[in-house]
Amino acid sequence: MQPATEAVRLSDAAGRILAEPIASDRDLPPVSRSVRDGFAVRAADLPGELVVIGEVRAGESFASEVLPGQAVEIMTGAPMPRGADAVVMVEHVTVTGNRVAVQRSLVRGDNVSLAASQGRAGEILLEPGKRIGFADVALIASVGNARALVYARPTVAVLGTGDEIVPVATAPLPYQVRNSNVESLAVQILHAGATPHLLPIAPDLYAATRELIEHGLLFDMLLLSGGVSAGKYDLVEKVLADLGAEFFFDRVLIMPGQPLVFGRVRDKFFFGLPGNPASTMVTFEIFARAAVELLCGLREPALPFLWTRLAREFRQKTGLTRFLPALLSADGSSVDPLPWQGSGDIPTLARANALLVTDPDRETWAAGDWIRVLMK
């Protein structure tokens, strides 16, 4: 089912998903234009000395035709005079009075943006399903649209579960933790293009958990944090099953984040994310983000992986694909794994700017070996 659409001002369109094709209202550019300051010439006349018969600036047109042996001084963006087919840059000429000497050859089209070379009138320039960036805004504006039709933002309910969870502003007891997962998930949801709605904490009680899950199913998608492991008080899967859920999977071979539930109930998709902070963040990025982006109308969600070299030797246990906090160098040429204390180590996650991605069948890497990273 396609999401609803709405028209927004171009200044509000950044990051939204385009919901209609954008066609050019005229040829782009509508006339051939100079892309340099210099002189409009006939390429066949070069090299040689030419008579300058006038000047043309951006926003003007030149009434006369350039004949053999003639040139017109031209500014960047100005339309090409009739008869001229190339532009020689001002840095490459010698001007004496009304004559210009050119010591080099040009070919037709040099330093010229030809009419319709960027798009024909009626040609589709942007397809729906694309996340709008600043260049897209410029293109939409350049073809005469002051507003953009975009898909409405879906709503995603976020539910933290567990008796050990307390509100963020509460002073926790030693055996309690603040409800930080729903706050980080809210940011991830916003970055994916949807609107988060944070629900009250679900205690480890069946009735209360069911009531909150049913409330969460009023939104376009439901994300749950915690309660999906095999413990005695992990109630999420039981509640969902009792509500008639269809489960697509309930475990993935990654670390952190093995206990991950994905399914559908009452025509709404849900993710049961693990409760440890790193597991919650990682599984959202790898699995839930794409689902949220598809609900937003994005045609091709993608994970921002890149390859780089390890800054030092690295070892791991085999069997799982691991997503580990790391520091990617400013130029992207190397990555350094960060020492961390496992899935609850939020400070290390905050210091990291990338996640190191390991091969589950490989045990060791030497400094300088290529390895994948996932950008945060």
User: Are 175 and 98 part of one and the same domain?
Assistant: no
User: Are 106 and 159 part of one and the same domain?
Assistant: no
Of 63, 89, 113, the residue at which a domain comes to its end is 113
Provide the CA 291 distance to its chain's centre, in angstroms.
15
Domain CATH code at residue 11:
3.90.105.10
User: Are 315 and 259 part of one and the same domain?
Assistant: no
Of 103, 132, 151, the residue at which a domain comes to its end is 151
User: Are 66 and 128 part of one and the same domain?
Assistant: no
User: Are 292 and 311 part of one and the same domain?
Assistant: no
pLDDT, averaged across the chain: 95
> SS3 breakdown of the chain: % helix, strand, coil, rounded to 5?
20, 35, 45
pLDDT of residue 36: 97
pLDDT of residue 216: 97
Domain CATH code at residue 202:
3.40.980.10
Looking at the structure of the chain, the number of domains it has is 4
Q: pLDDT digits over 89-113, tens only?
A: 999 999 999 999 999 999 999 999 9
User: Are 192 and 309 part of one and the same domain?
Assistant: no
DSSP for 310-321? ESS-EE--SSSE
Measured CA to CA in angstroms, residue 176 lies from 23, 54, 149, 159 at distances of: 56, 80, 46, 17
The answer to whether 364 touches 314, Cβ cutoff 8 Å, is yes
User: Are 107 and 144 part of one and the same domain?
Assistant: no
Which residue numbers in the chain have pLDDT < 50? 233
The answer to whether 90 touches 74, Cβ cutoff 8 Å, is no
Which domain covers residue 126, as residue numbers?
A: 5-27+121-151
User: Are 174 and 248 part of one and the same domain?
Assistant: yes
Q: pLDDT digits over 230-260, tens only?
A: 555 478 999 999 999 999 999 999 999 989 9
Q: pLDDT digits over 284-298, tens only?
A: 999 999 999 999 999
Domain CATH code at residue 95:
2.170.190.11
CA atoms of 318 and 322, how far apart (whole Å): 9
User: Are 333 and 258 part of one and the same domain?
Assistant: no
Q: pLDDT digits over 257-285, tens only?
A: 989 999 999 999 999 999 999 999 999 99
pLDDT of residue 232: 55
User: Are 173 and 272 part of one and the same domain?
Assistant: yes
User: Are 178 and 145 part of one and the same domain?
Assistant: no
pLDDT of residue 3: 83
Of 296, 327, 344, the residue at which a domain comes to its end is 296
User: Are 171 and 276 part of one and the same domain?
Assistant: yes
pLDDT of residue 231: 54
pLDDT of residue 229: 62
